[in-house]
Amino acid sequence: MPRRPGRYASSSVAGLFADAAGGEALASGIHLWRGVLDERAYLDGIAVIAAAAPFRSMMTPGGRPMSVAMSNCGALGWISDAAGYRYSTLDPASGRPWPAIPEAWLADAARLATGSGYPDFRPDACLINRYAVGARMTAHQDRNEADFSQPIVSLSLGLPATFAFHGPSRTGRATTVELASGDALVWGGEARLFYHAVRPVRAGSHPLAGAFRYNITMRRAAHQ
Ligand code: MD6
Ligand code: FE
C-alpha cells in the first residue's frame, strides 16, 4: 500500500496506530491519511469492477439523475431510485450480485481503520463514485447502514476535490479539506452522522485517471 514509505513503515507493529498517529485528526472521528494508496492498483481495480458493474447515474428518490456516476462491489451495494436509498445484494442493472471487494482493498481498509482506532471494521459494502468535471455531491448523512459504531473508510483517486463537512446539522458551518489522489479518510465516532458534501470537481487532468475523480467508500452495511 505505501506510496510514501515512511508513512506506513511501522504499520506492521501491532497497535502502533491505535491512537491515530500517522493519520491527522481533522475533528473527533475524522482521520485523514495523506498519500497512502497505490493509485495505479486502485484505478486498475476500479476498471475491473466497472467491467462487471458499469458506472451509471442513479435517480434520486425525487426523480433527478445524480451528477455522480456510481458502481459497487461487495455483498451489498448502495442504490437509489424512486423507492429510496438502500442497500441491495443485486445490481439492479444486471440482476446479478455485485463483484467482490478486492482483497487488497479490504486489507487497506482494515489497516486504516485500525490505525484510526477502529480495530473491528469488516466492510460488506463498497460504493464507488465517479465524478466528471463539474459533478458534485450535495450535503448528506450516511445513514443507510445498520450500525453507526462502524466507521466508513473513504479513498480518493484521480482529480482532487474539496470535501466539506458540517456537523450534526446540515446548516452547521462547513470545514473544508482538499482530498487528493491517494488520500484516505476514516469517518466514524462522533462524526459518523455529520453532514458532508463534495464541491463541484474542477477541470483538470490526472496522469492516471484523466478528467475524473473516483471515491471508494467501504462500509459495514449489515449488522456484524
Ligand atoms: C466523496 N464521500 O468523497 C463522497 N461519505 O466523493 C462521501 O460521501 C463520504 O467520503 C461518508 C464517509 C466518507 C465519505
Ligand atoms: Fe457520504
| CA nearest ligand 1 atom 10, residue | 154
What does the domain layout of the chain look like in residue ranges? 24-219
Query: For residue 68, which atom of ligand 1 is closest to its CA?
Result: 6
Protein fold of 24-219: Jelly Rolls (2.60.120)
- Tell me how many degrees the CA angle 46-71-150 measures, rounded to the nearest 5: 90
Give the mean pLDDT of 9-26.
Answer: 48
Q: What is the pTM of this model?
A: 0.91
Residue 224: which pLDDT band, with cuts at 50, 70 and 90?
A: confident
Give the mean pLDDT of 193-220.
Answer: 98
Query: Which residues lie with the beta carbon below 6 Å from any ligand 1 atom?
Result: 129, 137, 142, 152, 154, 163, 185, 187, 196, 198, 215, 217
Query: For residue 129, which atom of ligand 1 is closest to its CA?
Result: 6
Mean pLDDT value across the chain: 91
| CA nearest ligand 1 atom 13, residue | 154
- Tell me how many degrees the CA angle 138-139-144 measures, rounded to the nearest 5: 105
Q: Are strands 152-158 and 212-219 parallel, antiparallel or unpaired?
A: antiparallel
| CA nearest ligand 1 atom 5, residue | 142
- Closest ligand to the CA of 154: 1
Q: Three-class SS of residue 21?
A: coil
How far is Cα 25 from Cα 19, in angstroms, rounded to an integer? 10
Q: How far is the CA of 50 from the centre of ligand 2 (A)?
A: 20
The answer to whether 187 touches 151, Cβ cutoff 8 Å, is yes
Please determine, for residue 75, whether its predicted confidence score (pLDDT) is greater than 90: yes
Please determine, for residue 48, whether its predicted confidence score (pLDDT) is greater than 50: yes
Q: What percent of the chain has pLDDT over 90?
A: 87
- Closest ligand to the CA of 185: 1
pLDDT per residue as tens digits for the range 89-132: 999 999 999 999 999 999 999 999 999 999 999 999 999 999 99
Residue 214: which pLDDT band, with cuts at 50, 70 and 90?
A: very high
Among 85, 179, 190, 198, say which to mutate for ligand 1: greatest number of ligand atoms within 8 Å of CB.
Answer: 198
Q: State how far the alpha carbon of 15 is from the alpha carbons of 1, 18, 32, 107, 187, in Å.
A: 18, 5, 18, 16, 19
* pLDDT at residue 19, as a whole number: 40
Set of cell numbers at residue 195: 453532514
pLDDT per residue as tens digits for the range 51-61: 999 999 999 99
Q: How far is the CA of 217 from the centre of ligand 1 (A)?
A: 7
Q: What percent of the chain has pLDDT over 70?
A: 90
Look at 10-14, 76-80, 141-145 and tell me which has the smallest mean pLDDT.
Answer: 10-14
Query: For residue 156, which atom of ligand 1 is closest to its CA?
Result: 3
* pLDDT at residue 16, as a whole number: 32
| CA nearest ligand 1 atom 3, residue | 215
- Closest ligand to the CA of 217: 1
pLDDT per residue as tens digits for the range 135-149: 999 999 999 999 999
Give the mean pLDDT of 63-68.
Answer: 97
* pLDDT at residue 22, as a whole number: 64
How far is Cα 91 from Cα 55, in angstroms, rounded to an integer? 11
